Amino acid sequence: MPIYEYRCEDCGQRFERLIRNVEDRSALACPACGGGRLHTELSLFATRRSTAAVSASAPMCPAGGPCPTPGACGLT
- Model confidence band, residue 65 (pLDDT cutoffs 50, 70, 90): low
Higher pLDDT, 22 or 14: 14
| Bridge partners, 17 (sequence order) | 4
pLDDT at residue number 9:
95
Q: Which residue type, as a one-letter code, is found at position 56?
A: A
38's enclosing H/E stretch is strand 38-40
Q: Cα torsion at 71, 72, 74, 76 (round to 10°)?
A: -20
23 in helix, strand or coil?
helix
Which of 16, 22, 69 shows the shortest CA–CA distance to 45? 16
- The residue ranges of every structural domain in the chain are 3-45
Which ranges in 8-49 belong to alpha helices (H)? 22-26
pLDDT at residue number 21:
82
The model's pLDDT over 35-63, given as tens digits with 9 standing for 90+, comes to 999 999 877 666 666 655 555 555 566 66
Write down the CATH number for the domain with range 3-45: 2.20.28
pTM over 0.75: no
- Model confidence band, residue 64 (pLDDT cutoffs 50, 70, 90): low
Confidence check: pLDDT of 68 > 90: no
